[in-house]
């Protein structure tokens, strides 16, 4: 699963990407610093994993991971080929979800390509370009589908109804994800505005209350999750380790960083959750879609686990956290044997049994 970081130029995308991945993506004061997208794999922060590690003392601990893609800045007119145009849009098309970075900081040394800090205008520019690109894509697909529908193809007729609703909604300024359509019915159209979105506001170290309020209202209007952070501060935190980091966070009155909030929110945005395997060799978080049944969850470890699935011994993180030993959970009857129809829950600790 990949999450693309998008926004206008000079909003702090590459700075945030660097802090997220401790990478070295270029971050400079001019548009199109990022031309080819930078990709980084980031561990999902999870206090439960650390607690399980303390209980089992394994040789190895492996967190769940998410891929982030730093995409070049979009400009007004991108759908018509301005800036990096179609190249930019194609990079967005390839990701599963979008973080929309919005500039909420004022800095005369970092130019704003539209002249001033205005989160509402900036978001509308991005949304308009994505909607125009989707409309252009739908026009091309419409002719092909309508031809099949006229020849009596049932699936094409159903698709045509969806296309009409999409065209009407996009023309009215609504993204595809806000039209109340079944995601399965729109999936094959590969629309940019159908992708789930997380708004991330990049603030000054002391946020401007007016800009902050406008940004939060904007995200709520769009029905989007949102997080605010200060990229300068996050960059400083990213360079610290161990006790120094803990002391710095405490001095700033923080329990978690803004970046950690972004990673967790993005993980949830993709409809993902984690279950765990735990033992003396390894404690590991495994990523699955919410609602995943036990055989498919086992298949994330290895396809043989899914093919030969027999059952899963399962207990909750809360129970092992409270009682500390599996032997106590067995005595209390808190380890369950689950079959093929069991839906694995976030925080389950599983041991799968299978035939090869």
Give yes or no for a contact between 287 and 296, defined as CB atoms under 8 angstroms apart.
no
The CATH number of the domain holding residue 343 is: 3.10.20.30
DSSP, res 345: P
Q: What is the pLDDT of residue 96?
A: 87
Question: Is the pLDDT assigned to residue 31 strictly greater than 50?
Answer: no
Stretch 16-45: mean pLDDT: 61
Q: What is the pLDDT of residue 87?
A: 56
Q: Which residues, other chains included, contact 83 with Cβ-Cβ below 8 Å and sequence gap of 6+? A: 31, 32, 72, 73, 74, 75, 77
d(CA 46, CA 335): 22
pLDDT band for position 255 (cuts 50, 70, 90): confident
Two structure tokens written together for 219: 């995200």
242 lies in the same domain as 190: yes
Alpha carbon 345 to its chain's center: 19
The model's pLDDT over 219-239, given as tens digits with 9 standing for 90+, comes to 888 878 899 999 888 888 888
Q: What is the pLDDT of residue 248?
A: 86
218 lies in the same domain as 347: no
Decide if 157 is inside a domain.
yes
Grouping H, G, I as helix, E, B as strand and the rest as coil, residue 113 is coil
Stretch 247-260: mean pLDDT: 85
Alpha carbon 318 to its chain's center: 26
Phi, psi dihedrals of residue 278, rounded to the nearest 5°: -145, 135
Decide if 284 is inside a domain.
no
- Give residue 226's domain range: 2-267
Indicate the number of domains in the chain: 2
Give yes or no for a contact between 2 and 93, defined as CB atoms under 8 angstroms apart.
no
Q: What is the pLDDT of residue 24?
A: 40
68 lies in the same domain as 161: yes
300 lies in the same domain as 240: no
253 lies in the same domain as 176: yes
Question: Is the pLDDT assigned to residue 84 strictly greater than 50?
Answer: no
Task: Please give the share of the chain, as a percent, with pLDDT higher than 70.
Answer: 90
Q: What is the pLDDT of residue 269?
A: 87
Decide if 76 is inside a domain.
yes
209 lies in the same domain as 316: no
115 lies in the same domain as 81: yes
311 lies in the same domain as 250: no
Decide if 346 is inside a domain.
yes
Decide if 41 is inside a domain.
yes
The CATH number of the domain holding residue 65 is: 3.40.50.300
In the block, residue with structure tokens 């709520």: 220
Q: Find the angle CA(132)-CA(137)-CA(139) to the nearest 5 degrees.
A: 95
Decide if 272 is inside a domain.
no
154 lies in the same domain as 97: yes
The model's pLDDT over 283-339, given as tens digits with 9 standing for 90+, comes to 999 999 999 999 999 999 999 999 999 999 999 999 999 999 999 999 999 999 999
Stretch 266-284: mean pLDDT: 93
Q: What is the pLDDT of residue 74?
A: 63
* pTM, entire model: 0.80
174 lies in the same domain as 297: no
Two structure tokens written together for 151: 């020849």
Q: What is the pLDDT of residue 127?
A: 87
Phi, psi dihedrals of residue 69, rounded to the nearest 5°: -125, 120
Stretch 99-121: mean pLDDT: 85
Alpha carbon 11 to its chain's center: 19
Name 277's bridge partners: 284
Q: What is the pLDDT of residue 40?
A: 81
Decide if 273 is inside a domain.
no
Name 276's bridge partners: 285, 349
Q: What is the pLDDT of residue 73?
A: 63
254 lies in the same domain as 305: no
Decide if 138 is inside a domain.
yes
Two structure tokens written together for 240: 């610290």
Stretch 153-169: mean pLDDT: 88
Question: Is the pLDDT assigned to residue 137 strictly greater than 80?
Answer: yes
Two structure tokens written together for 58: 């394994």
Q: What is the pLDDT of residue 175?
A: 87
DSSP 29-64: SSTTS--SPEEEEEEPP-HHHHHHHHHH--SEEE--
226 lies in the same domain as 296: no
Neighbour-count burial for 158-192, b at 16+ CB within 10 Å, e otherwise: ebbebbebbeebbeeebbbbebeeeeeebeebebb
Decide which of 2 and 83 is more confident: 2
Alpha carbon 95 to its chain's center: 9
Q: What is the pLDDT of residue 158?
A: 87
Decide which of 96 and 48 is more confident: 48
Grouping H, G, I as helix, E, B as strand and the rest as coil, residue 109 is coil
């Amino acid at each position: 699963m990949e999450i693309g970081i998008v926004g206008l130029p000079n909003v702090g995308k590459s700075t945030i990407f660097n802090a997220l991945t401790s990478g070295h993506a270029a971050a400079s004061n001019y548009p199109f610093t990022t031309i080819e997208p930078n990709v980084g794999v980031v561990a999902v922060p999870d206090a439960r994993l650390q607690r399980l590690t303390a209980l089992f003392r394994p040789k190895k601990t492996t967190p769940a991971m998410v891929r982030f893609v730093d995409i070049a800045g979009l400009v007004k007119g991108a759908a018509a080929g301005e800036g990096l145009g179609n190249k930019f849009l194609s990079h967005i098309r390839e990701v599963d979800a979008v973080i929309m970075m919005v500039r909420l900081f004022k800095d005369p040394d970092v130019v704003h390509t539209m002249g001033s800090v205005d989160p509402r205008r900036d978001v509308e520019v991005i949304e308009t370009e994505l909607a125009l690109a989707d409309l252009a894509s739908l026009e091309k697909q419409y002719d092909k589908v309508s031809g099949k529908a006229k020849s009596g193809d049932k699936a094409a007729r159903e698709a045509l109804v969806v296309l009409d609703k999409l065209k009407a909604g996009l023309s009215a300024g609504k993204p595809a994800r806000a039209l109340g359509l079944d995601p399965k019915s729109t999936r094959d159209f590969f629309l940019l505005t159908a992708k789930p979105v997380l708004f991330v506001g990049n603030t000054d170290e002391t946020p401007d209350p007016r800009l902050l309020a406008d940004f939060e209202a904007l995200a709520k209007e769009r029905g989007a999750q949102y997080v605010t952070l200060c990229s300068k501060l996050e960059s400083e935190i990213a360079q610290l380790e161990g006790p120094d980091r803990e002391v710095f966070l405490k001095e700033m009155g923080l329990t978690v960083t803004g970046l950690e909030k972004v990673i967790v929110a993005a993980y949830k945005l993709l409809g993902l959750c984690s279950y765990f395997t735990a033992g003396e060799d390894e404690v590991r978080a495994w990523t699955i879609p919410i609602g995943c049944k036990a055989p498919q969850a086992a298949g994330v470890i290895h396809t043989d686990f899914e093919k030969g699935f027999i059952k899963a011994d399962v207990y909750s993180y809360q129970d092992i956290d409270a009682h500390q030993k599996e032997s106590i959970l067995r005595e209390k009857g808190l380890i369950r044997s689950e079959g093929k129809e069991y839906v694995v829950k976030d925080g389950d600790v599983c041991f799968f049994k299978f035939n090869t």
